[in-house]
Structure 1
Amino acid sequence: MFKLQMPPVPIETSQVLFDLSRLLRSRNRAFATGVDRIDLEIALDLAARFKTSCYFLYAGAAGVTILRHETGISLLRALDARWNGKQSPNEHARSTQSYTAEIAYGSVTRRDRRTVVTSDTTYVVASHSGLGKIKGGIGRLDPRKAMKRVIYIHDIIPLEMPEYQRPETRPAFENYLGELMDAPVTIASNSHDTDTRFRQLAGTKGWTVERFIVLKPALVPTTAARLPIRTEIETFISRQRSFFTVIGTIEPRKNHLLLLNLWRQMLEQQEDAPHLCIIGKRGWENENVLDMLDRCVAIKGSVTEFGDLSDGEVQAVMKASTALLFPSFVEGLGIPLLEAAALDLPCIVSDIPVFREIAPTGTVFLDPLDGPGWKREIISRSLPPAHDITRQVG
């Protein structure tokens, strides 16, 4: 099994204030998104490096709270155990009530401000969430702009391609950046492509950026015991002669519609068409894709959808797959490509800059609108290999 690992965020102060707003809101999720995983790894590294000089902030409807150090550490340990396969999802998680009680008052005390909000503190946010989502929040917390700021950027898709987002996402993201960019900051990006795009944006907006850095996640082997794979997943793998996997939230920019239409076409033309495995939760603005998944009789039995797999289960499915398919129109990174590289899984992906940056050797790049090209490549690889469920993920 492989675990996501982040390079350390460079911090020059002796204290750090980490914004764990998204992680606290995600505390009941059994499985993590890519943003969640990066957010958690950055938080774990800062907590390990700064120990009791790592403070935690929550910003929500009740206001802004600086949490007790023990509360933040407890949350990080619980999520690490749950999301990184060290425990089953329900073990070692603090009760929802206990966290809720601590953030309910939503206030920053004079002692908090005197101790934490100083020129020797760096505020770090790695989730496109938190303090920047509250109008005037950082100004009230730090009116003198004493703290240094590090903002981790996963993508700027809401600004570049808002047509792939919900209507409210663009103004919300613009406001988020506007709140945090009113003082010099360090911008940390998840890829060189995101870094290039943000540099251009900062120049257009006239923002003062002290430093641009790239902190690209990697996957490394872990010694943590792999949790058992559920019977339904083992059964799915064992029954497939040849199948392809696509991973990611089912949303328009992921281009699932291309694959579903190709599968319907292949099933009409050949009896032994391969299987398609879709891993990811259902997102938004997706009526055509969801209609096909729910109502298209032609693909029933040849397309399987999983919305709640653990990292270990995802990697088991990937290892048994013929190839990873990744036909997105736009991405900030693409963690499934990193997983495929770690597992030596062949990849057929969109020809977009960030995939050229991170894809493993041997990857096939295709235009995301080139339906015939995708079809030819899928068919050429779909000779039925023998899959063995006893194979283990490394």
Structure 2
Amino acid sequence: MSRFKRKLAQIKHHTAAGSHLANVAADHDAVRNLFQHGAQGKVVYLDVTRTMRRDRGWHTGITRVEFRYIRHFFDYSDAPVFFVAQTRGERFELVSRRRLARHLARLRWIDDVTELTGPDPAANHRRGGLSATRRLAHAYADALVPARRRAPLPPGVYLNVSHAGIDRAELLRTLRDIMGMTIAIYVHDLIPIDFPEYSGNEDPDRHRDRMLNVLEFADLVLTNSEATRDRLAAFASSSGRPLPPTHVAVIGVEEDFLAAAAGAVARPGTQRPYFLYVSTIQPRKNHQLLLALWRRLAAERGDRAFDLVLVGRRGWLSEGVFRFVEHSDVGRKYVREHNDLADSALARLYQGATALLFPSLAEGWGMPIAEAQAFGQPVIASNLPVFREASQGLATLIDPIDGMQWYETICRYVDDPPCRERHAERVRSRYRPPTWAAHMSRVDELLSARVRTRSRCM
């Protein structure tokens, strides 16, 4: 067998085994011929910009989703995977797996860098920005082959699951038109467009640009719910643009929660019943409603009032909530706040709660609803279509501004235990929690199908 054929066979073997081209490929001809023999378009470039910009420990919402994709692609065996992050201007940098793992450990998202394993295509690459307009390919070639025989960066799937940078049309245009990438984007919500008053420091026009760029550049769109997909379709119609191929990939419940729920044992009642709300503290989440209800509870019931447990980081434009919790007699006595809680501690709170409360005014999904119901707990939530979807029709849904009905329902769950137990039993017998395994299987299937479609068109 010739040297070339041996090299090609070696690369094919390592690719099939989940290793990376950069570990074995030092020959431009072998790389070129590998792509000609079927690897074209199978490389995945996962954007980890949001994670790399984090400097705090608690990961929730969109950040948690990106983290789950990182974990999945660390062990990905169907194609080579690069992690990339955006820097200044129209620039990317390759992020080595060692650097990414250390960053995650610093954020306390993993206990040990050895928890994430896998071959690393960028391990020997120098740090620093790489110009996307100069085709990131040159930097890849520096690490892969001698300068005199540089290979282009293989086209593949650029996957963005965090909205980071997708407001920059030129960046997406470079990826698509110059680098030949298939672009896949995960859309979480259109809330800054629909409810600009809840956007905090977020510029609604910037989010509009994001969604317009999704419509223009994405070859594949994933959404977290049917509600988000429907809203994106309506936005596309109102913008006079076609909707790209769009599929729902529901966010999974963490395996640690599922394991804890499976092993949960009925616990004796605590000193006082408590209701749980898991959410960043910001105006859209409607904490003010609950605080008003608890002020009334304390006035009417005195020492027979029960607790409200708030789990979530402090956000923006919620100083009134913070002052209530810190300075009012009701807040100090009946409201407990946890801003940086580990999943194991949160699991215990889910397990012992009377119910989860979720009076939010707008959402793209309802992750805490799925988590609470995985523990067999009843949920009282706003009557949003997405909450009906997330709860699989099992939550008690109430208008988020109907304080009287919220008050009566909360009291009923404490004063009438059989009523609360009937709701809990419905959840335990009917609810089927979404899993990350099913989510990733769905995503892999969609990415693979999109690559095959793109390859036939090229």
Bucket of the pairwise TM-score, normalised by the shorter protein: 0.7 to 0.9
Give the SS at the match of 1:32.
coil
Shift of 1:81: 10
Aligned pair partner of 1:123 in 132, 154, 158: 158
Bigger relative contact order (CA 8 A; separation at least 6): 1
Tell me the distance in 1 between the aligned counterparts of 2:194 and 2:127: 35
Q: Is the contact made by 1:136 and 1:179 (CA closer than 8 Å) also made in structure 2?
A: no
Shift of 1:37: 1.5
Larger radius of gyration: 2
Counterparts of residues 90-239 of structure 1 (less than 5 Å)? 103-108=127-132, 109-112=136-139, 118=154, 120-130=155-165, 132-134=166-168, 136-144=170-178, 146-166=180-200, 168-219=202-253, 221-222=255-256
Aligned pair partner of 1:279 in 288, 292, 311: 311
1:278-314 CA deviation, whole Å, 9 max, x = no partner?
0001111223222322332333211011000011111
Give yes or no for the alignment of 1:46 onto 2:73: yes
Aligned pair partner of 1:365 in 390, 393, 397: 397
Q: Is the contact made by 1:21 and 1:129 (CA closer than 8 Å) also made in structure 2?
A: yes
Shift of 1:322: 0.7
Give the SS at the match of 1:381.
helix
Bigger shift: 287-296 or 337-346?
287-296
Shift of 1:169: 2.6
Give yes or no for the alignment of 1:23 onto 2:47: no
Aligned residue identity for 1:61: R
Shift of 1:364: 1.1
Aligned residue identity for 1:111: H
Give the SS at the match of 2:347.
helix
Q: Is the contact made by 1:150 and 1:186 (CA closer than 8 Å) also made in structure 2?
A: yes
Shift of 1:145: 6.4
Which residue number corresponds to residue 32 of structure 1? Answer: 59
Tell me the distance in 2 between the aligned counterparts of 1:83 and 1:136: 34
Does the C-alpha gap of structure 1 residues 158 and 299 become closer, same or farther in structure 2, counting only changes over 3 Å? same
Identity of aligned residues (%): 27
Tell me the distance in 1 between the aligned counterparts of 2:409 and 2:259: 36
Aligned residue identity for 1:303: V
Which residue number corresponds to residue 370 of structure 2? Answer: 338
1:25-67 CA deviation, whole Å, 9 max, x = no partner?
12x4322112112112223333433577211221133652231
Shift of 1:243: 0.5
Bigger share in strand: 1
Give yes or no for the alignment of 1:87 onto 2:111: yes
Tell me the distance in 1 between the aligned counterparts of 2:237 and 2:383: 27
Does the C-alpha gap of structure 1 residues 14 and 80 become closer, same or farther in structure 2, counting only changes over 3 Å? farther
Tell me the distance in 1 between the aligned counterparts of 2:281 and 2:82: 35
Tell me the distance in 2 between the aligned counterparts of 1:116 and 1:72: 22
Tell me the distance in 2 between the aligned counterparts of 1:381 and 1:255: 21
Which residue number corresponds to residue 13 of structure 1? Answer: 41
1:198-249 CA deviation, whole Å, 9 max, x = no partner?
11112222334441100002226449998xxxxxxxxxx9964211000100
Give the SS at the match of 2:186.
strand
Give the SS at the match of 1:204.
helix
Does the C-alpha gap of structure 1 residues 204 and 260 become closer, same or farther in structure 2, counting only changes over 3 Å? same
Which residue number corresponds to residue 406 of structure 2? Answer: 374
Q: Is the contact made by 1:366 and 1:374 (CA closer than 8 Å) also made in structure 2?
A: yes
Shift of 1:374: 0.8
Aligned pair partner of 2:357 in 325, 330, 334: 325
Q: Is the contact made by 1:43 and 1:76 (CA closer than 8 Å) also made in structure 2?
A: no
Q: Is the contact made by 1:62 and 1:104 (CA closer than 8 Å) also made in structure 2?
A: no
Aligned residue identity for 1:39: E
Query: Cα RMSD over matched residues?
Result: 3.4
Which residue number corresponds to residue 254 of structure 1? Answer: 285
What's the TM-score once normalised by structure 1's chain length?
A: 0.79
Shift of 1:180: 4.7
Which residue number corresponds to residue 391 of structure 1? Answer: none
Aligned residue identity for 1:31: W
Aligned residue identity for 1:156: L
Tell me the distance in 2 between the aligned counterparts of 1:242 and 1:14: 53
Shift of 1:363: 2.0
Shift of 1:335: 0.5
Tell me the distance in 2 between the aligned counterparts of 1:215 and 1:249: 23
Shift of 1:102: 5.8
Which residue number corresponds to residue 325 of structure 2? Answer: 293
Q: Is the contact made by 1:14 and 1:50 (CA closer than 8 Å) also made in structure 2?
A: no
Tell me the distance in 2 between the aligned counterparts of 1:255 and 1:210: 34
Which residue number corresponds to residue 348 of structure 2? Answer: 316
Shift of 1:371: 0.6
Aligned residue identity for 2:41: T
Shift of 1:383: 4.6
